[in-house]
Structure 1
Amino acid sequence: MRVKRAIENVPGGMMIVPLVLGAVITTLAPRTAAFFGSFTGALFTGALPILAVFYVCMGSTISVRSLPEVVRRGGALMGTKIVLGILAGLLLGHLIGVQPIHGGWFAGVSTLAVVAAVNDTNGGLYMALMSQYGSSEEAASYSVMALESGPFFTMITLGVAGLSSFPWQTLLGAILPLAIGMILGNLDSELRDYLGSAAPVMIPFFAFALGATLDLRRVWEAGLLGVALGIAIILVTGTLLILIDRLIGGKGTAGIAAATTAGNAAAVPALVAAANHRYAEAAGPATVLVASSVIVTAFLVPPLTAWWDRRTRGGPSGNPPLPAVEEAL
C-alpha cells in the first residue's frame, strides 16, 4: 500500500490528513487520550513539545546571515494582522460597540469575536505549510509572529487599560528553541544536516495533536455564522497578507498560510472578559464563533496554499519537505 503517496496527493496532506484524523477522534470519542493515557495520551496532547523540537530542527537549517530576512518577513505578516485587527475593532466598535448583537442573522457577533479571530495565527499550521511550500526562513518567521499569541494584542486592540505589559520570559521562550537550533546548525554543518532532516518527520505528529484539540461539534454550535466568520478571515486577511508577502519578496504563499485563526484564540474572549467585565456578555458566543473559525481556517487554508503554490510555480505543487541546506545559506 502506498499510504504516503496517497496522503501527499491531498493538498497539504501531511498536515491536513493527521489534523482531520485527530479532530474526528476527539469529536467522536473525546476521552480517548484520558482512557489510554501514557504514550497514546501524549500523542493527543503533545503538540507544544513536538513543535518545540520542530523549532530546534528548523532553526538548525537557518544561516545567521538570513536572520534579517526572518525578522522582516515575520514582522510584516504580524504587523498586517495586527493592523487588520485594529481596523476591525475600530469599525465594529463604532457600529455595534462592546456588546454582541442580540437578534437576527448576526446574533452573537461581537467586536471581541472578530478581533480575537483576526489577531492570532495558527503557528503549527503555518510552519508545516511553509516547510512544504515555502522556505526555512518563511517557516521560521513565525518565531516573530508568535507574539500574536494570547490575549495581549486583542486587549490592546480593544483598548483595555492597564494590560500593556508582556512578560519577557514569554518573549524569550517563543524564540529560544529556534535560537538553539540556529546556534547548533551554524556551529556544525553535520549537525545541521542531521537536525534539519528530522523536521519533516514531525509534521504529521504535531498536526494530529493539533487536530485532537478541535471538536467538530463547535462548527455545528456556531452554525453558518461561525463558518462565515472563518471564510471571511481567509478572504479578508488572506488577500492583504498575499499583497504584503509579495511586496517583501515572497510569492504570496506565506500570506495565505498565515490567514488562519490559532487554536488558543478560542480562549482569548474569556481572558479578555476576566480582565474587563464589560466583555462578559460577549465572551460566551465569541468563544464559539472563534472556535469555529479555528476549525474552518485549519481545514481550508492548506488546500488553498497548495493551490496558490501550483499557480505561482506553474507546475506540480510542493517543495521538498525541507529546503536544501544550500538554499538556506
Structure 2
Amino acid sequence: MDRIPEQALAWAEAGQPVALATVVETWGSAPRRAGAQLVVAGDGTMMGSVSGGCVEGAVVIEALEALEDGKTRLLEYGVSDGDAFAVGLACGGTIKVLVEPVRPDALSVELLSDLVAARAAREAVAYEVALDGSARRLVSEGHTDRFRRDRSGVDEDTGRFIAIHNPPLRLVIVGAVHIAQHLVGMAREAGFDPVVVDPREAFGSPARFPDCKLMNDWPDAALREIGLDARSAVVLLTHDPKLDDPALHVALGSEAFYIGALGSTRTQASRLARLEEAGLDQDQAARIHGPVGLNIGAASPAEIAVSILAEMIQTLRRP
C-alpha cells in the first residue's frame, strides 16, 4: 500500500504547503494506472509518481504553481510513439492528472485526515472529486464494482473522479519455515502486509523474521484475532494437521480471497478427507489451493515462494 496520503498529511501538519497530483484517466500505454499519486511539498520535495518518467517534472512545476494561486488543475499530457521516451510515457500514451492543493477551500486537511484514518482502520473508502475542484467527499457505500476490482477512474454518469482506497493487502503465513522467510520479503515488495503465525517460538523468532509481525499463538486463535477479510490471503506451510486444520476451518469461514496449503497431491487428498469428516462441504474445501502455488516446476524454497506469490496475484487479479 502506498503512503502518499499519509505523507501529504504529515507534511501539511508540519506546516509545509502541500499539493497532491493524481492520475485520473489514461489512454494507450501510460505506465501508471488511474489513482497513482505524487505528493509535492512547497520546497519541491516529492514522493510517489504519476508516470514513472519525465512527466513528473512538469507536474511538480504545476503543483508548485497551484500552491501559489490555490487553484485545482486538470493537466493532460499526450505524446506520439516517436516522442514517448522523451517525456517518460512508454510507447506513447495520454494521461490526465488532477493537481489539488491542500488548503481549506480545496482538499482540506480535515478531509485528508479522515481519509488517512479510514486507511489506518482498514476501511474501504472512495474519494469523490469533481474535476474542476468544486466538490469533494469521502464515501464508503456505492461503487461496488470499483471496490471489487480495486479500480479508480472517472464516473461516466457524474463526471467525477472516484479514487478507490481499499485496505492494504494482507498475507497471513501459518508456519515460520524456510519458504516463509523468502515469501515474506517477496510479498512485501508486491504490496502485501505479511504476518507470520507459529506457536513454536524457535521457528517464529525475530531473528528469523526481522521487521515482520510475528504471532506465537495457535493458528486458529491468531486468525480470529487478526480478522480475515476480502483483502486477506492465507498460506499454510506447517505440513502439520494439528496446526493446519484448525487454521483452515477459520480461513474457510472467512472472506479471504486466497487460501493455500503446502503439500503433495496425496497430502491434499488426505486434507480434504479430514475436512469432509469434520463437516465441511465440497464447495468450501474447493477454495483451498493445494498443492499451493502455480505449477512452474519450483524446487527450492525461494522458487516455491515465487510460485505461491504468483498464484496469489493471479487469484486476486483474475478471479
Q: What TM-score range do you get, normalising by the shorter chain?
A: under 0.3
Query: Larger Cα Rg: Structure 1 or Structure 2?
Result: 2
Structure whose residues are more often helix by fraction: 1
TM-score (normalised: structure 1)? 0.22
Flag the structure with more relative contact order, 1 or 2, with Cα contacts below 8 A and sequence separation at least 6: 1
Structure whose residues are more often strand by fraction: 2
